[in-house]
Amino acid sequence: MIIVMKPNAAEASINAVVSFVQEKGLQTHLSKGDEVTIIGVIGNKSKLGDEALLRFPEVAKLVPVTESYKLANKQFHPDPSTVKVGNTEIGPNNLTIMAGPCAVETNDQLMVIAKAVKEAGATILRGGAYKPRTSPYSFQGLEEDGLKYMQEAGQATGLATICEVVSLDAINAAVKYVDMIQIGARNMQNFYLLKEAGKSGLPVLLKRGLCATIDEWLNAAEYIIAEGNPNVVLCERGIRTYETATRNTLDLSAVPVLREKTHLPIIVDPSHSTGNYLYVPPMAKAAVACNADGLMIEVHNDPAHALSDGPQSLTFDNFSKLTKELRPFTQIVGRKF
């Protein structure tokens, strides 16, 4: 449940309620607005008793939280969160673009791509060093060498960096080189990996599972936040439906639904969802119009010869054209880009 304090409640009154709750063995999460403070309570609330809480003079009301996810819940944290990644931020005031190759192939290749995407307006360089592929014979990534190349490209361009992790070993390697880690769709409900990501100290991008409901997705985010890491960003990347014209079905309705349910930032991946570079620009514009906080777009210097996901990757020219075309959409929703 959440405890709503009266407007402009005194700090001493807030602390008294927090102490009372914690003495009963429950956890608290404080969210302070301009006038009203909300105290989120996690644990067995029957240990408290509503009457005992309402005896505190500056407690306004008690509100039950029925969803199983608490820390990710907008009721616990009414204001939208901003997540800092390297020298940039993902949140309500700007449009963040993550761009780069699906898989890091060589140091030279990544450096060329990093410079091109930065020039076009990206602030985060994406690149896969660990690639969970459908076929065991497909390119699996350069692993730690790829992470080193990410670090070098980030340092050379000033871009923040993000890379997917698939195991505890990958997390332990990634924390040495990149600014953000990604949990891919296939691992959204790998609860052990989610916990370890929460312990990593790095911000986490959590992609929606191929067949996951929004509540399942938010519960996965809860695993990360419950480990003491509030810096979680959600990524809609399409879900599996009966439709075969696109790689997946991009569920843009998830963006407004999430706005009602969570304070976490939301980005959209039009590359993996459509699987076709021709469809990336219109879906990217639609995502911005839906008020997403950012985009993840695959960009490659030579898509026809990419080792992973070439058909959905934009060329440098196409990416630059897209970022220019996005500007009117960002102005409509009041975001900086």
Tens-place pLDDT, residues 10-62 = 999 999 999 999 999 998 988 887 778 999 998 888 888 888 899 999 999 99
Q: What is the average pLDDT across 284-304? A: 97
Residues 112 and 248 in one domain: yes
Q: In this structure, what CATH number is given to the domain that contains residue 299?
A: 3.20.20.70
Q: pTM of the full predicted structure?
A: 0.92
Residues 36 and 88 in one domain: no
The answer to whether the beta carbons of residues 97 and 323 sit under 8 Å apart is: yes
CA distance 310 to 262: 34
Residues 263 and 174 in one domain: yes
Residues 45 and 155 in one domain: no
Q: What is the average pLDDT across 99-111? A: 95
Parent domain of 15: 2-63
Give me the pLDDT at residue 130, please.
85
CA distance 308 to 302: 11
Residues 251 and 322 in one domain: yes
Q: What pairs with residue 185 in β-bridges?
A: none
Domain count, the chain: 2
Is 214 contained in some domain? yes
Give me the pLDDT at residue 262, please.
98
Q: In this structure, what CATH number is given to the domain that contains residue 41?
A: 3.30.70.1140
CA distance 120 to 87: 17
Q: What pairs with residue 239 in β-bridges?
A: 249
Is 313 contained in some domain? yes
Q: What does the mean pLDDT of the chain come to?
A: 94
Q: Is 174 left (phi over 0), alpha (psi -120 to 50) or beta?
A: alpha
Q: How many CB atoms lie within 10 A of CB 201?
A: 11
Residues 46 and 158 in one domain: no
Give me the pLDDT at residue 36, please.
84
